[in-house]
Structure 1
């Protein structure tokens, strides 16, 4: 199901969940990195349906050593559940369909939603890049779920995030808060100040989310590393929800590769995933350097890169097809190329895409590594980041951008977007990526 998801059945309005518990945990030294100041936590998180669906997909595909077939299976087993198990309306709640799930399925769904909520909160705090935290410990030892970089952590190190979700009959503010504290002490605290492949761990979070199946409402609890600030030094302000940030600093190449491996998989760009895997291991012969096509799609005032495998051509407006034929004759063969996710599925109403600048800058950097035979990977890359759309902190209405009420989508700081109604966009050309020559327009 990479490339697209179905939005049929998802609720139609933003939901706000208030923070029901917060605990700062002492650590010595404080801060671990002298110049790091954690962003201020927020009293609530607001998110739309597309943002949660995209975040669940992002977190389900962060295991950067997992084969594409495994990532695809994770997607297929999770996203359809969101369509039927979450109630419509401004208040979070589980639908009546939830009662028909077996206990193991309830646990699985709660864990996935908890991971998605964690990704939204961390992204809203300003952290941009993500990776799986399994690298910190053996699979037998408890460890946090995710590693994040960017925002206030840029140039200082990385932060840990442990995620927990519970849809139990006895879920309460107290039980969810206890989970966030216990999991911080067990799965975050032991790894503070440890060195990871992505940088030194300088801060940690444990985020727990819960809801009682029989009642509307949800509980959100946060535990994090306490920072004792010198007298007179103020905490970092909340990051802007709408301001686009460019050139915020160098991104460690290792975590950029991990994040974009997940992103391009979600877009349907398995060829890019293959090249990322090769440059990270330089194991065996490189993939075939066949140029890869991306559609440039103008949507809600931006341009995005879309992989052809994510498009279901039978659903496209006639003017789209005419434009595509005018841009590039060899896109005609794509009309006979059904996306793998589409087999046996109902028509989709959304697709994953990459903001054009974010996508082209990363692909250019990847070409530079490939040209060197993968032997010399730079320590950092210069990549843009963006203010999130479709979710945010502080209870703001974040489901729309400016007055573009006709557009339904979510945009994350690394440039990945889930476009809920892509047919409102217009094709604006073709971007070609040659693994050994870079990107160029056609």
Structure 2
């Protein structure tokens, strides 16, 4: 029997990882899109446990699959992060990692690599995401994710490959070599190629690694080199056409928010997105969807009522046909009036303006008959909280900070601490009428 003193503390402090290598790789033509300027890489990435857990969940659910499967993939993210990473500011795997079976280590390593990549891409300024499986046949090697927004707005999308390695031979050299090889094999062939979300104009390969039992981690990035012009470029000829929209493609927005609403537990919204995308039938419950409106850290967020009550019923959120009947329960409303239980957290929510803007756009598409339009949506974006390249964007900012949460640029947030709802409101979204009241 293990001694109580041998039990490790749960990971609860911010971690800073240095960028060990950064390489740029030639591509012809360069730049792929005139005027695109890639954001500068910086020397460190700082993130909180809640941010990495949220990023792991985001990447696990950014794919076309049944909500029940995707929900099962994301449920264990926070628990794994807390248990398998040591509680110190220098990244180190806990002793529990050694007790995992080989297949479980491989899965956890891959999840961490994907989560770190999502944090890095968000920190660079990219906003919306999609799975990159659309670029190649199933058996062809291809990178993992496509991103839009930030500096690539109006140009197309960028491609990102994620890799993690937690092995005894992990080092700055081996991790750098893996980033480069992954770039050459799984990123470079697809730069300048079309995708359903726009032309791929730039690519990244992000590799993250650490030696079990040793403090420290390695972060290596390989990306497309953009050639400097030999002289100032001539202005493009006037064609009379309007410039490209700086918004996000409708298809990319649908993919991003499908994942976001799944993480929230708002399955009724996913049904509408799938119907519009042609992968689902007309929703059997076309009634309004209820959200609760909560204040946190100076912003208002909308959350799904039923994803926040696992203590009452662990799978209520997965069956939205229960929603109206349960919400009318006075007992449930009284419990919400008292506050949320600790079991409700960690809790995914979406910043209110982002949620409203997207859902009102969704209503417009539903009213028009449900065909996915070719075009762009103007959606808000936000400065990240809980992670970033240091400074004000890093995790809890100071010891004993009041809030523990991660906010991503698309408005998705993961709240990590229980709190009492002193202000309690609900909002309803009607698929054919938009927000009510």
| Equivalent-residue separation in structure 2 for 1:404 and 1:431 (angstroms) | 33
Report Cα offsets for 1:125-160 as digits up to 9, x if no partner: 000000000000011000000000000000000000
| Equivalent-residue separation in structure 2 for 1:329 and 1:67 (angstroms) | 24
Change (3 A) 1:401 1:169: closer
The answer on 1:268 being equivalent to 2:265 is yes
Mapped contact 2:300–2:352 kept (Cα < 8 A): yes
Matches within 5 A, 1:13-412: 13-63=13-63, 65-231=64-230, 249-281=246-278, 284-312=281-309, 331-333=327-329, 335=331, 347-375=343-371, 377-394=373-390, 398-400=394-396, 405-412=401-408
The answer on 1:427 being equivalent to 2:423 is yes
| Equivalent-residue separation in structure 2 for 1:230 and 1:262 (angstroms) | 39
How far apart are residue 76 of structure 1 and its match? 3.2
TM-score with structure 2 length normalisation? 0.86
Q: Which has the higher contact order (CA 8 A, sep 6+)?
A: 1
Report Cα offsets for 1:152-204 as digits up to 9, x if no partner: 00000000000000010111011100000000000000001110000000000
How far apart are residue 289 of structure 1 and its match? 1.2
How far apart are residue 39 of structure 1 and its match? 0.3
Change (3 A) 1:376 1:131: closer
Report Cα offsets for 1:331-352 as digits up to 9, x if no partner: 3428569xxxxxxxx9243200
SS in 2 for 1:427: coil
Change (3 A) 1:295 1:262: same
SS in 1 for 2:20: strand
How far apart are residue 421 of structure 1 and its match? 1.6
Mapped contact 2:18–2:218 kept (Cα < 8 A): yes
In the alignment, structure 1 segments of 5+ residues that lack a partner are: 1-7, 234-247, 316-327, 338-345
How far apart are residue 284 of structure 1 and its match? 3.9
75-84 vs 30-39, which deviates more? Answer: 75-84
Change (3 A) 1:113 1:283: closer
| Equivalent-residue separation in structure 2 for 1:113 and 1:51 (angstroms) | 11
Match of 2:319 in 1: none
| Equivalent-residue separation in structure 1 for 2:88 and 2:397 (angstroms) | 21
How far apart are residue 94 of structure 1 and its match? 0.4
| Equivalent-residue separation in structure 2 for 1:49 and 1:9 (angstroms) | 13
How far apart are residue 312 of structure 1 and its match? 2.6
| Equivalent-residue separation in structure 1 for 2:354 and 2:330 (angstroms) | 25
Report Cα offsets for 1:368-421 as digits up to 9, x if no partner: 000111135251111000000000014666224799921111100000000112
Report runs of 4+ in structure 1 exceeding 3 Å deviation.
76-79, 282-287, 328-332, 334-337, 394-397, 400-404, 424-428
Mapped contact 1:10–1:49 kept (Cα < 8 A): no
SS in 2 for 1:265: helix
SS in 2 for 1:195: coil
Change (3 A) 1:376 1:171: closer
What is the number of residues matched between the two proteins? Answer: 400
Change (3 A) 1:227 1:313: closer
SS in 2 for 1:19: strand
How far apart are residue 13 of structure 1 and its match? 1.4
| Equivalent-residue separation in structure 2 for 1:334 and 1:123 (angstroms) | 41
TM-score with structure 1 length normalisation? 0.85
Mapped contact 1:308–1:334 kept (Cα < 8 A): no
SS in 2 for 1:433: strand
Mapped contact 1:59–1:119 kept (Cα < 8 A): yes
| Equivalent-residue separation in structure 2 for 1:404 and 1:374 (angstroms) | 48
How far apart are residue 23 of structure 1 and its match? 0.8
Change (3 A) 1:88 1:226: same
In the alignment, structure 2 segments of 5+ residues that lack a partner are: 1-7, 233-244, 313-323, 334-341
267-276 vs 376-385, which deviates more? Answer: 376-385
